[in-house]
């Protein structure tokens, strides 16, 4: 057993098996990250709610729900395909797992492109970080920061999906690593479930 | 049996059922958005639906329900506690609406 292994395990061979505290280390690290990131998004959304509640001329510019409904459907479906990928990985079906992971990544890319298209549309209507033609300039700052933060998470998730998928196919990663990545992807989807009603649906132009 | 092996033994029917529930709940949020109700009530209804969605996703898609009870409690209690402590600023937000001065 190498010195690295002893450092990682903390014990010599045969005395113990698995990580300390009987919980997979990578999974615990991902859950701790998810909890921390939940706080970040919660702080952003609560700050947004604080501003919206306390500002009289808050814009309500969204006329159509089609785009956001499509984005929600795509992200939810990508969570399902991620589950299928994990299921295939657990069953030892490497090709199937890689296929489902790439489908998940593709759905993530489609989501990101739809999001960027929406941003371009809003910017074309005159909305920036500091002003817009409908009301207080705080709307643009809060909208772009919250949706931008989520889009960043989606983009990083897509990159991670591709990288982990390729390395899994090459034999460097195993099904446990797919599970850990799946946790992150489901978290990204979970955050979107809060962003949609608070940022989009409460600002529909009736 | 580890969480991974437990996951393998369950059928995909459960995954599809949870997926359908999440889609239905997301659709419900869109229905609420077009109801003729005031903003606070709409917000509360949407928040309840979102919390249910998050619970389903966390318990079944993220397999938190299949983890050890102690870990589930750790995640749930820690997260909910911090989320609740983030709510201290609402009185100030309402004060901004009414224009009330700072308290002495």
B46-98 per-position pLDDT tens digit: 999 999 999 999 999 999 988 888 889 989 998 888 888 888 777 777 777 66
Q: Which two tokens stand for residue B13?
A: 């029917």
* pTM of this prediction exceeds 0.80: yes
Rounded CA gap, A118 and A116, in Å?
5
Binary contact (B50, A182; C-beta < 8 A): no
Q: Does A189 touch chain B (CB under 8 A)?
A: yes
CA distance, residue B21 to nearest chain A CA (Å): 11
Q: Which residues are within 8 A (CB) of A189 and not within 5 positions of it... i.e. 6 or more apart?
A: A75, A76, A78, A79, B57, B61
Output the average pLDDT for chain A.
Answer: 88
Supply A115's token pair.
């999001």
Tell me the pLDDT tens digit for each residue of B13-24: 999 999 999 999
pLDDT by residue (tens digit) across A86-143?
A: 999 999 999 999 999 999 999 999 999 999 999 999 999 999 988 888 888 889 999 9
Q: What values do phi and psi take at A62, rounded to 5?
A: -85, 110
Contact A189, A104 (CB under 8 A): no
Cβ A179 vs Cβ B4: under 8 Å: yes
Instruction: Give the nearest chain B residue to A90 (CA atoms).
Output: B8
Alpha helices by DSSP H, listed for B34-68, are: 39-56
Averaged pLDDT, A27-36: 93
Does A4 fall in a domain? no
How many percent of chain A have pLDDT more than 90?
71
Domain membership of residue A92 (yes or no) is yes
Say whether pLDDT at A7 is over 80: no
Q: How confident is the model at residue A20 (pLDDT cuts 50, 70, 90)?
A: low
Restricting to A residues 113-172, those with a Cβ less than 8 Å away from any Cβ of B are: none
pLDDT of residue A195: 96
Whether A43 has its CB under 8 Å from any CB of chain B: the answer is yes
Give the range of the structural domain holding residue A124, as residue numbers without chain letter: 24-203
CA atoms of A177 and A89, how far apart (whole Å): 10
Q: With beta carbons less than 8 A apart as the criterion, state whether A194 and A41 touch.
A: yes
The position carrying tokens 């903003």 is B39
Question: How large a percentage of chain A has pLDDT more than 70?
Answer: 89
pLDDT digits (tens, 9 = 90+) for A66-90: 999 999 999 999 999 999 999 999 9
Q: Report the number of distinct structural domains present in chain A.
A: 1
Q: Is residue A6 part of a domain?
A: no
User: Nearest chain B Cα to A195, which residue?
Assistant: B50
Question: Is A12 a member of any domain?
Answer: no
Give chain A positions within 8 Å (CB) of B97: 53-54, 56
**B3 touches B66 (CB < 8 A):** yes
Answer whether A31's CB lies under 8 Å from A185's CB. Answer: no
Q: What is the pLDDT of residue A50?
A: 86
List of chain B residues whose C-beta atoms are within 8 Å of the C-beta of residue A198 = 43, 46
Residue A17 — pLDDT band, cuts 50, 70, 90? low
Residue B38 pLDDT > 50, yes or no? yes
Chain B neighbors of A87, CB-CB under 8 A: 7-8, 12, 15
Contacts of A170 (CB under 8 A, 6+ apart): none
Residue B87 has what pLDDT? Answer: 83
CATH number reported for the structural domain that contains residue A144 in this entry: 1.20.120.80
């Amino acid at each position: 057993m190498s010195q690295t292994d002893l450092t990682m395990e903390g014990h010599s061979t045969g005395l113990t098996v698995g990580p300390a505290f009987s919980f997979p280390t990578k999974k615990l690290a991902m859950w701790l990250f998810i909890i921390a990131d939940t706080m970040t998004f919660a702080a952003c959304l609560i700050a947004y709610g604080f501003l919206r509640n306390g500002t009289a001329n808050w814009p309500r510019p969204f006329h159509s729900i089609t785009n956001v409904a499509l984005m929600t459907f795509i992200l939810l479906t990508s969570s399902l395909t991620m589950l299928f990928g994990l299921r295939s990985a657990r069953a030892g079906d490497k090709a199937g797992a890689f296929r489902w992971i790439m489908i998940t990544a593709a759905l993530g890319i489609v989501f990101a492109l739809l999001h960027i298209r929406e941003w371009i549309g809003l910017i074309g209507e005159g909305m920036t970080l500091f002003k817009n033609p409908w009301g207080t300039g705080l709307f643009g700052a809060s909208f772009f920061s919250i949706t931008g933060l989520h889009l960043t998470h989606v983009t990083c998730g897509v990159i991670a999906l591709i990288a982990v998928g390729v390395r899994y196919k090459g034999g460097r990663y195993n099904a446990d690593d797919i599970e850990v990545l799946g946790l992150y992807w489901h978290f990204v989807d979970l955050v979107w479930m809060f962003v949609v009603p608070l940022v989009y649906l409460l600002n529909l132009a009736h | 049996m580890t969480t991974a092996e437990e996951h393998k033994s369950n059928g995909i029917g459960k995954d599809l059922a949870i997926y359908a529930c999440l889609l239905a709940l997301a659709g419900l949020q869109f229905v609420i958005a077009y109801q003729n109700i005031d903003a606070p009530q709409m917000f509360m209804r949407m928040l309840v639906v979102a919390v249910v969605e998050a619970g389903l996703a966390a318990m079944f898609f993220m397999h938190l329900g299949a983890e050890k009870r102690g870990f589930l409690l750790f995640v749930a209690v820690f997260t909910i506690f911090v989320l609740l402590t983030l709510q201290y600023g609402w009185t100030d937000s309402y004060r901004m609406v009414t224009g009330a001065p700072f308290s002495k």
